[in-house]
Structures are given as structure tokens and as C-alpha cells.
Amino acid sequence: MNRDVSKDLKEVMSQMHMTPDENLEEALADVDEPDLDGDAGEADSYDSTNLSQSDLAIGARYERIEHEILRRMPEHKIQPSLERVAMAMNILGDPQNMYRSVHLTGTNGKTSTARMIASLLQASGRKVGRYTSPHLHTMRERISVNDKPVSEAEFVEMYEDVAPYLSLVDEHSRRHDNPRMSFFEVLTVTALAGFADVPVDAAVIEVGMGGEWDATNVIDADVAVLTPIAHDHEKWLGSSLTDIAKEKVGIIKPDSFVISAKQEPEVMEIIRSKAAEVGAVLRVVGEDLHLRDRKLGVGGQVVSIETPAARYNDIFVPLFGAHQAENAVLALAAVEAFNGGRAIEPAIVEEGFATATSPGRLEVVRTSPSIIIDAAHNPHGARAVVEALEESFDYTNVVAVYSAMADKNVEATLAELEPAIDEIVVTSMDNVRAMDVDEIATIARDVFGEDRVFVEPSLLDAIDKGVERTELNNDPAGSNGVVILGSVVLAGNARELIVHDEKKPK
């Protein structure tokens, strides 16, 4: 897609001793190609025009693009600034303003809630873009249109459309002794611009981390959704709930709607203050929004929800756990707000929730014995898993398969799991951020005791060990369960081993 040259592009080209009238490829020639054998994250952007040669198959082009993006500064290394993304979007003509959006932040439940919101919007007849993170299998699943991850061909087209401009921003940043655009920043620009090119009617956008300076905060969302805010990512967001909340309320925009889960008092105070400051309409679960009834159903639960606009009775939600019912309240209220506060047709609500999915979130991937995969990675998430296991699954014996990233509060997370878990198998992940398996095992023994902890560095062996341990229980069929949790990466790896191909993004 041809894009207009903005003032930021003119400024960048001027600093590169170019003029906007000169060919863009000539400008890009001044941008160094990366050393593909060098250290990840330190090379300059390559000239993406090379990817457009007709002799390169889509698959090869996609693999090269994926390699380049993965070599950028990873998303766990944060540069708290919107400057690079804002410049890129401005150069592209601010395509994020060509569609309306819902923006989500919080600590847990963002992806599940985003998927429910997108499903409801799609059921209403809209074409919906969804941007969530992290991914389970492929970075393409972060960018979805109408609940389908973009294909390799679509991703290549989206990326190649913006790549020359990303290179210019990289060069501008380099000349000011700043880092080039990160992995998450590049994916964010690709998604936001790509949604405009589809074009979508609405986009549901999940922050990567925080809110105020998150790369996604270049959008001017009609609705801000705040899922429960708890301790996580303290290295970047702060050690207190107050500090964390101050970062997250940064997504609240003037004259918008704010939909908030129940929060701790100090968090709620910050949300109210920010909403009042910018003139946003605030609606809170437990005050303006209510989960009036909830009962278990086959494959999920049936809920009744009341909002200022309507009461919605007996809605089937095909997800497990009280926390998913609370997420459903947020999703329904967010879509009402997107509609200007008006009630939603019951048929749309029924269809939207019935078709909602959330892979890797209390996902039953095998029976006899049951194997459940969940992406819970902090104490708050572990508590939700325990409550769901006790309520929705009639297990008498549960074995956990667990691993974690090095920056997580493993002791507190395991302490939440311990009352509901009979034994735990500690395993490893092939990830530079992963905590050493022996370190996790030491913590696990302190929490569970020596006799309840097993160590299997291989995930496949760990799953087999979990199944083996549950099968020692002679209780009736359906009484034994293995739950794999501790990280989104672990959840994705486990799904690769267990889940049939048709459930994975193509």
C-alpha cells in the first residue's frame, strides 16, 4: 500500500541527507544490513525490499521476516518510551485511527477477555482485528482477523508494507544513540497498520506490559478495560500495587468508557481518579456491573449478567472458572460501551459467548487421565486455577507439571497451588529467561516437601511422569488429573506435544 509522506518521514529523510521526493529504496540504501550471524538484538534492520523478489516463496519470506523480528530487542527488555512507535505510526499516516478500538490492560485475564470481546463484536456483524500476547505457537497468532490468525502470506504482506518505514525509524533512533525498534514494537506497528489495510471495523488490543508507555498506547481507544491488577513484572512496573496501577491507567483516554474488574481499594482509587481527570465514564464490576448467577454446565458454565443497560440471563460460556465468569462480565460491558452504552441483542450475546475460545487457559487437551493446560504464571493466576479445579473438576488426585521464568515469584505461586496439588513434577523450558530446573525444584521441596516433588528436565518426560503418578490412584475413571502450568511458553510447548494439529494456528 502506498502511504503519504508525513512530517516525521521528511525529518528522518532530511537527517539522512535525503529529500521526500527521492526514491524510498535509495533512502533505505543508507540503512545498514544486519550481520545475520551476529548477536541477537544488536544488528540494524535489513533492507526488506530484498524479500519481495518473485523467486522467494511465501514460506521462505516469512521465515526470513520471522528471523529478523526475533533478532530484535525481546519484549522482556523494556524501553519505556512511545517515541519509536509513535513516529512509525505517524509516518504511516496514523492508520490506527482508521478504526475504533477496545484497549485492555491488567495482570491476569487480558487475553481471555480480549477474545470474548472480539467474539461478541464479530457476532454483531463487524470485521474484528485482535492483537494479543504472548503467543503459544507462532507470532502470527498475536494478529487475528475474525478469530483467525493471519496466514504466512497475510503476515508477509502486512510486514513488508511497513518494513521500509520501520527501517527509517531504526536509523533515526540509531543516529540519536537510541535502540532500534523492539520485537514487540515492530509487531504492534505491523498489526495496527495491517488492521487498517484489511480493513477491520473494530480492533481489540491487549497491552504487552503496563499501559502508559506500552507500544499499544498509540491507539485512542473508545473503551479501556482493566482486568484484575495484581503484582507482576515488578522490575518494570514497580513494587507496589499503587505504582503498577498508575502505569496501567495510562490507557484511559479522554471521553472514553472505562470498564474495570473488582480491584484492591488502593488500585480502585487510582482508576477513579484517572477516569475523573480525563472525563471518562467508569463502570465497575460489583458496583455498576453484576454477575447475578453462575452455575456449572457441560464444557463450561452458565451465567446471568446485569449491566446498566440490561440483564442477560442464562448465557453459556464455554470456559471454566469463576474468573472466566468475571471476565465475561467485563467483555459484555465493554461491548455495550463500544455501542455507546446500549444493550446488546440477546442472540448476539448468545452467539458471541458460545463461540469464544481461550487456548491454554484451563484447556482440557486429553482425557483418561485428564490433562489440563493453563498459562497461569503468578500467584493470582495460580489461585484462579486452584479455585477452578476444585469447582469444575471432580478430581481426587492432581499432579502438576510446572516450570517458570526466572523473574517470577515461584515460591508464592507454588504456595497457592499446594493445597490442591498432590504431587508436582518440575521441568524445564528451552528459553533464555527460564529459571533453572534445580532452582525451581529446591523451592518446590520447601513448599511441598521432598516426597511430593519429582524432577524431569524434559517436558515430554515430565508429562509422562505426571500421567504415571496419577495412574497410581485407584479411584474411578475421571478422578485423576494432570495440570500443566507456570508459563505461557510452557503452555505452548505442551500444546505442541499434545494437541492435535487442527487446533493449532495454520
pLDDT tens digits for 401-423?
999 999 999 999 999 999 999 99
Minimum mean pLDDT range among 32-36, 184-188, 259-263 = 32-36
Do residue 409 and residue 329 come from a single domain?
A: no
CA distance 463 to 429: 13
Do residue 139 and residue 51 come from a single domain?
A: yes
The number of beta carbons lying within 10 Å of the beta carbon of residue 358 is 21
Q: Which residue has the higher pLDDT, 43 or 303?
A: 303
pLDDT at position 474 is 79
Torsion angles phi and psi, residue 370, rounded to 5? -65, 140
Q: Which residue has the higher pLDDT, 476 or 98?
A: 98
pLDDT at position 430 is 87
Which CATH number covers residue 498? 3.90.190.20
- pLDDT (mean) for 374-386: 95
Residue 309: pLDDT over 50: yes
Do residue 258 and residue 130 come from a single domain?
A: yes
Question: Domain of 460?
Answer: 363-503
Do residue 340 and residue 376 come from a single domain?
A: no
Distance (Å) of CA 463 to CA 254, 448, 476 = 49, 19, 21
Residue 435: pLDDT over 90: yes
The pLDDT mean for the chain works out to 89
Question: In degrees, to the nearest 5, what angle opens at C-alpha 31 toward C-alphas 78 and 10?
Answer: 85
- pLDDT (mean) for 310-320: 98
Type of residue at 75: E
CA distance 250 to 105: 10
pLDDT in tens, 74-126: 765 667 789 999 999 999 999 999 999 999 999 999 999 999 999 999 999 99
Count of residues for the chain?
506
Asked, for residue 301, whether it belongs to a domain, the answer is yes
Do residue 371 and residue 348 come from a single domain?
A: no
Distance (Å) of CA 76 to CA 39, 107, 134, 492 = 17, 15, 11, 18
pLDDT at position 3 is 53
Residue 332: pLDDT over 70: yes
**Residue 473: pLDDT band with limits 50, 70, 90:** confident
pLDDT at position 193 is 99
pLDDT at position 154 is 97
pLDDT at position 365 is 95
**Residue 475: pLDDT band with limits 50, 70, 90:** confident
Which CATH number covers residue 275? 3.40.1190.10
Q: Are residues 200 and 100 in contact, defined by beta-carbon separation less than 8 angstroms? A: no
Q: Considering 354, 376, 411, which residue would you say is the last residue of a domain?
A: 354
Q: Considering 354, 372, 390, which residue would you say is the last residue of a domain?
A: 354
DSSP state of 363: E
Asked, for residue 1, whether it belongs to a domain, the answer is no
Do residue 346 and residue 396 come from a single domain?
A: no
- pLDDT (mean) for 48-57: 54
**Residue 73: pLDDT band with limits 50, 70, 90:** confident
Do residue 203 and residue 229 come from a single domain?
A: yes
CA distance 478 to 396: 9
User: In this prediction, what percent of the chain has a pLDDT beyond 70?
Assistant: 85
CA distance 423 to 345: 47
Do residue 376 and residue 478 come from a single domain?
A: yes
pLDDT at position 238 is 63
Minimum mean pLDDT range among 45-49, 142-146, 264-268, 389-393 = 45-49
CA distance 62 to 301: 40
* Number of separate domains in the chain: 2
Q: Which residue has the cell 551476529?
A: 38
Q: What is the DSSP string of 101-140?
A: EEEEE-SSSHHHHHHHHHHHHHHTT--EEEE--S-SS-GG
> With left for phi above 0 and alpha for psi between -120 and 50, is residue 224 left, alpha or beta?
beta
Question: In degrees, to the nearest 5, what angle opens at C-alpha 37 toward C-alphas 33 and 38?
Answer: 80
Do residue 319 and residue 370 come from a single domain?
A: no
pLDDT at position 77 is 60
Do residue 323 and residue 389 come from a single domain?
A: no
pLDDT at position 234 is 57
pLDDT at position 17 is 47
Q: Is 341 helix (H, G, I), strand (E, B) or coil?
A: coil
CA distance 327 to 441: 33
Asked, for residue 154, whether it belongs to a domain, the answer is yes
pLDDT at position 478 is 75
